[in-house]
Amino acid sequence: MMQEQVQEVLKRLRPFLLRDGGDVELVDVNQGIVRLRLLGACGNCPSSTLTLKAGIERALVSEVPGVREIEQIV
């Protein structure tokens, strides 16, 4: 269930990433830790950590009960 909720939030955020030439892929959700892979321009962008922590993590923690943190998988 948590995985579906995470996917829904990512679906809403995806247009912002696509606009900048990037994307995000859900790798795994385990014990409140969401593992994501940034793709395209987001994968090697100097601002990718900021995007991940300030944007995606904030949205997931506030909207999906049980999500504690985000890990970036390369």
Residue 45 has pLDDT above 90, yes or no: no
Residue 11 has pLDDT above 90, yes or no: yes
**Is 0.85 topped by the overall pTM?**
yes
- Per-residue pLDDT, 24: 92
- Per-residue pLDDT, 14: 92
CATH numbers and ranges of domains, the chain: 2-72 (3.30.300.130)
- The answer to whether 24 and 39 are in contact (CB under 8 A) is yes
Residue 24: partners with Cβ closer than 8 Å, 6 or more residues away: 10, 13, 14, 17, 36, 37, 38, 39, 42, 56
- Per-residue pLDDT, 6: 97
CA distance 7 to 12: 9
- Per-residue pLDDT, 74: 83
Report the chain's mean pLDDT, rounded to a whole number.
90
